Structure formats: structure tokens, C-alpha cells
Amino acid sequence: MDSHEISLRQALAEKQAAVDAQANTVRDLKGSGAADKSAIDAAVEALKGLKLEKSSIEEKLQAIVKSNGGDSKEAFRQSVLNTLERKLFFVPSFKIYGGVAGLYDYGPPGCAVKQNVLAFWRQHFVLEENMLEVDCPCVTPEVVLKASGHVDKFTDLMVKDEKTGTCFRADHLLKDFCKETLEKDLSLSAEKVAELKHILAVLDEFSSEELGAKIKEFGITAPDTKNPLSDPYPFNLMFQTSIGPSGVSSGFMRPETAQGIFVNFKDLYYYNGNKLPFAAAQIGQAFRNEISPRQGLLRVREFTLAEIEHFVDPQDKSHRKFREVANLEFLMFPRELQVSGQSAKRMVLGDAVSKGTVNNETLGYFIGRVYLFLTSLGIDKERLRFRQHLANEMAHYAADCWDAEIECSYGWIECVGIADRSAYDLRAHTDKSGVALVAHEKFAEPREVEKVVITPIKKDLGLAFKGNQKMVVEALEAMDEKEAMEMKANLESKGEVEFNVCTLGKNVTITNKMVTIKKEKKKEHQRVFTPSVIEPSFGIGRIIYCLYEHSFYTRTSKGGDEQLNVFRFPPLVAPIKCTVFPLVQNQQYEEVAEQIVKSLTAAGISHKIDTTGTSIGKRYARTDELGVPLAITVDSTSSVTVRERDSKQQIRVNVNEVASVIKEVTEGQSTWADVQWRYPTHSSTSTDE
């Protein structure tokens, strides 16, 4: 909250107190019967004056609150959504049957934008970083997601309307309450405003108990019925299915694409020549049974993910190309700024890594590459920040996690997660499958090393665990050095220790008779280790929606009688690169237009031809709404007019050159300013809006 808002809220509270005091004075004068009429009239006038002053302060405060959100953002969002649906970028799925919440269909321009974004993602990451791309099934056996932790822990906290049974996501109800209260209750004290804004900042950190306590404290009820709500409880977000007709083999629709890469690590490592580091990538559909889908493409039940798993030696997380991004400067939001109630600050990426704000160079490198990717698409760099996860948001095994958040009319939206997941995933699948997902570092000369030797006593383990003996033995042998030495110390001091066997899904008691743990010196020719993984995960639908908002603007028509909608997509992502318009319905012009269309097709440039008899201005307006960057108007048989969408400037180009000029600009070989220098300017008062 800025200082101006604080001072206005304090002034409003003081003025309200003055109004209340003056109202009491008027009431006392009228009730006493002793005061003359002139004294009462003077007191009433003073009260009216105070109320006017209070109203003036309220108007100023309301203006500040609206500028931070509220009605203006809602109106802008509706303009964007109306245009997107009318131009068929996306529409609700199964609309003729009433639709299904959280499911959307992409129309022709939406499909084109999505494919262009994915094509650039492949170029920017897969090709430039020499990644290994895979394509894995959407249906995933239960055992895989049990090992990854999704079966037990992939949950959101849910509350139910206690009378109707309608379900709501608990944190969304609290977030909506805080935002609505901040926007509509101008009488809030500065302290209360600060409290609500702090809740919004740390909401992701709340436990179920903390969420439930806040819901009760604020008296939050079911949105439509106002009925009381249940306490929050976890709901697993995966869609369950069965594999095969018998129903014996249980599975799920994958909630992410990453697990397909992890289970293929051994083969990918071999394919890469048994060398680290390397990265694998996958684009595909993922599924999450959202409790209460909302916010259009931002929270859906089926969506496209693009994920990278960069495998690296945990002892060396430097990156040979880090210097290429080290000088980038952008908004970063470390956890200490969040907890202290401050705002994101511009930071140089190299400084953030050297100071330890970002854990390591490889994580920092991908943060920089994500920044370049998003801004190249057309995301406004002033409305893009990288927020570090709070301590309670991160899994216990994670070294560091950052989200690329983009600001839109819904607030700051997480669109890309960049996490150092340590070696958790490969270890979990190693434990569950029994297949060692490890890497090797060969030494030039043998090295004498001190190794922890874990020897399970199978006889005693068999007596204690019978049929589960094998799983307990495997879990003991899979311990890392730190875990093994902690167990050794506990066994020596206490005689027994509780030990988690993830394949059993429970803790077991290990006694000092069941295992021996000691350190021995050995000569080794190689080092065997489980790689760490750095994971950038991209929500493609969220990125595209934010791109729609960042690209949208309106401008007044030439006649000044209407507002025209425009999407300022960069040519890189524009659904159609250019349009072709014969100025009038004329056979010669239409033949030239067909000739140009053939040239554009041969050059691989997406285009649209419009031979309707409507005015050229209306045709320009129609294609501006689709975000088409260039328009060709055929107004002679030898040369044509090329018009740029945002500046509305025009140049004259020969018919046989126009396709190459369009290709040059839309593929980024030249800018519009470059070609303006080479071709004569065309000015006409009759061919634009």
C-alpha cells in the first residue's frame, strides 16, 4: 500500500469520527429543547460540510483502489474475452449442451497462435539447447504416480457447502474475500489493509488449519447460497481410470508430462553417450480435476504443458552458457521481500546468482532463458516478474524454486515454474522400480575413497518383515551417506530407529541386529551418483491468455464514432501473417491477388484473402482484430500497397517482390522500419479507417 493511500485512509477515518461527533452534537441540540433554531441550523450546516469533505476523500480513495484493480480491470477483461470469443480464438467446449466448466476449444486463430508459440518454444529451447524431445502416453499406471508422490500428495484444499454439497477451493474463497474487501470497503484502517494484503502475499503457505481459521474469522460462506462451509480437507486432482477391460490395472490421466521423462532416464542417458549434463523435453496434454475451474484459460481441466528436465551433476551446477544471460536485468521477488511486505525489485541475474539469491548457475540460466522467451512472444517486461517460492511452498527435497509470474486483469499469474528438484524424482523411481537411474563419472586414475557400506542382515529382516523383506532390504541399500550415518548413530545410541520404506508406504522399526553400517576405504575407478534435475515447466494456455491481454488495445476509428479492437501480436506469434485485399471487385485485381497468394503459399506464409465488396477500412479493422501484422491492398496490376497494423503506415511494393518483403518482416530478418527505407511511402485518405 503506497503512502498516499495510507494517508487518505487515515484522513477518512478521522473525518468519519468528526462526522459522528457532529451528528451527536446535532442530536443533543435537537433533544435538549433549550437550543434556539439558529444554533441547530448552524450545527446541521457544519455536519453537511463534514459529510461533503468525507465524500471528497472517499472519491479520491476509490480512484486509487480502482486503479489497483476492480471495475476498470473487469471492463478491460470483458472487452478482451468478447473479442476472443467473437473471433473464435477460443470458446467453451460442448457449448450447445451447456458447456463443461474448465474445458475449452481453440478455434482457427487460437490454434494458430498456440502452434506458433510451441514452434518458437521448440526453436528457443529444444533446438538452441540441443535437447532430447520425447512424446509419452497421457495414461499413466498407478505405480508410476505412486512413486512420484502424486497419488498421496497431489491435492488442493477443498470446502463444501454444508447444505447443498457444492465444492469450492478453500484458498480461492479466502483470496476473493480479501480482494473484494480491499476494493469495496473504504472504511478499512491502514492496519487492516496491510493484514489483508499480507494474507494475499503468503496465502500459498497456509496449512488447512490456518485456512479454516481465516475462513471462520472472516465469516466466509458459500458464494451463492450463503450457507456455512465445512472445514478444508485435501482433494486429489488426478483423473482416475483403468487400463484394459478387466479393470485390474489402475491408472491416471497424467497431471504433468515430467514423469514420462524420468522413467526413460536410463535410455536417454545412454542415447546421449552416457554424458551429463543433458536435457530432455516434452510437449503434451495434462489433466487436473480442478475443484472449481474459473478464469478462462488460466485454470482448466485439460491443458498443454511444455516441460524440460535438465539433468546435471549435483556437485557441479555451473552452466557453460550462463554468461550469455548474466547481464539481464528484470523484476525479481525473493522470499525475503515477500515476507517483509515489500514489492518486487529489478535485479541483475548475475548478481542474484553470485549473492546466493538464486541457488546456482544452471537454475539462473534457465530463469534468464525463460525471460527472453516470454518477452520475445510479446509479454510486457514491466508486467513480468520472477517470484521465489516461500519456504513452506517448497518440497523438502527442492534446492530452490522460482515462478515466472505475468500480471493480467486477474492479478499475478504463475505461468512458468523453474525448480531445482535435486535428485528426488530419479531416486523415487529407482526405489520403486528397482532399476538404478544413475550416472557415472569415470576417473583418469583410481581414487581411494571412504565409502559407507550398508549390509542388511537378511535372516533377522526376514523374521521381522516376512514377505516385505525384499522391499526393506532395497530401501536400506538405497540410503545415501548422510541418511545411513544418521541411522548408524541412532542404532548405536538407542538400539532401534524408525525408517520410512516408500515402497511399503509406511515407517518400519529397524533394530541394530537387522543391519550393519560402517565406513571402509576402497579404490574406485568411477563415481556412481543420482543426477539432480532442473525443471522449467510451462503452462502454455496461461502464457497465451496473458499474451492476449498484453497485446490488446483499442483505437478510435477514422470517423471518431467507434472504438476498434486491435491485437498487437509480434509477427512471430500472429495467427495469420498477412491479408490480401483487392481494392475493388475487379477481375484484373483479383487475378493479381491470386498471383500474390500463390507466392505467399510457396514462401510458407500464412495468409487470408478477402474479395468481399466491403470498404477497405472495414476489412483492415476485421484483420486488426485478429492481430494480422501486414495487409496487402491490390490497387494496380504492377505494384501494391503494404500496410502495417499498428502504425497504419503504408509502402508501395512491386507485385513480384511483395511475398519476399512479407517473409522478410514476418520472419524477423528485417523490421518494418528497415523496409520503409527501401520502398516509397504510400499515403491515401481513402484506403484506411
Task: Encode pLDDT of 545-573 as tens digits.
Answer: 999 999 999 998 887 788 899 999 999 99
pLDDT of residue 669: 92
Whether the per-residue pLDDT at 244 is higher than 70: the answer is yes
* Structural domains in the chain (count): 5
Mean pLDDT over 264-277 rounds to 96
Please give the single-letter amino acid code of residue 278.
F
Round to whole Å and give the CA distance between 502 and 278.
28
Whether the per-residue pLDDT at 351 is higher than 50: the answer is yes
Question: Among residues of the chain, what percentage have pLDDT more than 70?
Answer: 97
CA distances from 502 to 17, 259, 262, 431 (A): 62, 17, 17, 8
Q: Answer whether residue 689 is part of any domain.
A: no
- Choose one of 236, 265, 288: the last residue of a domain: 236
Q: Answer whether residue 130 is part of any domain.
A: yes
Whether the per-residue pLDDT at 66 is higher than 70: the answer is no
pLDDT of residue 518: 92
Mean pLDDT over the full length of the chain:
91
> Does 270 share its domain with 402?
yes
Q: What confidence tens digit (pLDDT) does each residue in 420-448 have?
A: 999 999 999 998 898 999 999 998 888 88
Mean pLDDT over 367-395 rounds to 93
Mean pLDDT over 606-632 rounds to 92
> Does 432 share its domain with 564?
no
Q: Answer whether residue 94 is part of any domain.
A: no
Mean pLDDT over 110-119 rounds to 97
Whether the per-residue pLDDT at 689 is higher than 60: the answer is no
Query: Poorest-confidence range of 398-402, 604-608, 610-614?
Result: 610-614
Round to whole Å and give the CA distance between 444 and 429.
31
> Does 639 share its domain with 567?
yes
pLDDT of residue 65: 66
Q: Which of 84, 105, 175 is nearest to 412 (CA)?
A: 175
pLDDT of residue 686: 45
Q: Answer whether residue 195 is part of any domain.
A: yes
Predicted confidence band of residue 506 (pLDDT cuts 50, 70, 90): confident
> Does 332 share its domain with 364?
yes
Cα-to-chain-centroid distance, residue 461: 47
> Does 546 share its domain with 584?
no
Q: Which domain holds residue 465?
A: 443-529
CB-CB contact of 225 with 164 (8 Å): yes
Round to whole Å and give the CA distance between 320 and 678.
41
> Does 270 share its domain with 341?
yes
Whether the per-residue pLDDT at 400 is higher than 70: the answer is yes
> Does 565 share its domain with 625?
yes
Q: Answer whether residue 73 is part of any domain.
A: no
Q: Answer whether residue 88 is part of any domain.
A: no
3-class secondary-structure state, position 63: helix
Query: Poorest-confidence range of 33-37, 386-390, 445-449, 471-475?
Result: 33-37
> Does 198 share its domain with 338?
no
CB-CB contact of 53 with 16 (8 Å): no
Radius of gyration, alpha carbons of the chain = 32
> Does 37 share its domain with 174?
no
Please give the single-letter amino acid code of residue 364.
G
- Choose one of 551, 582, 612: the last residue of a domain: 551
pLDDT of residue 397: 77
Query: Poorest-confidence range of 362-376, 384-398, 511-525?
Result: 384-398
198 C-beta neighbours (distance < 10 Å), count? 15
Q: Answer whether residue 76 is part of any domain.
A: no
pLDDT of residue 687: 45
Round to whole Å and give the CA distance between 50 and 46.
6
pTM for the model:
0.81
Is residue 644 within a helix (H) or strand (E), and if so which, with residue range? strand 639-644
Q: Which of 423, 411, 501 is nearest to 456 (CA)?
A: 501
> Does 407 share its domain with 506?
no
Q: Answer whether residue 391 is part of any domain.
A: yes
- Choose one of 68, 90, 119: the last residue of a domain: 68
Q: At 130, which CATH number? A: 3.30.930.10
pLDDT of residue 207: 86
> Does 209 share its domain with 335?
no
Q: What confidence tens digit (pLDDT) does each residue in 286-343 have?
A: 999 998 887 888 999 999 999 999 999 999 999 999 999 999 999 999 999 988 888 8
Whether the per-residue pLDDT at 688 is higher than 90: the answer is no
Q: What b/e readout covers 31-61, taking b as 16+ CB neighbours within 10 angstroms?
A: eeeeeeeeeeeebbeebeebbeebeebbeeb
> Does 23 share its domain with 149?
no
Q: At 194, which CATH number? A: 3.30.40.230
Q: At 614, which CATH number? A: 3.40.50.800
Whether the per-residue pLDDT at 417 is higher than 90: the answer is yes
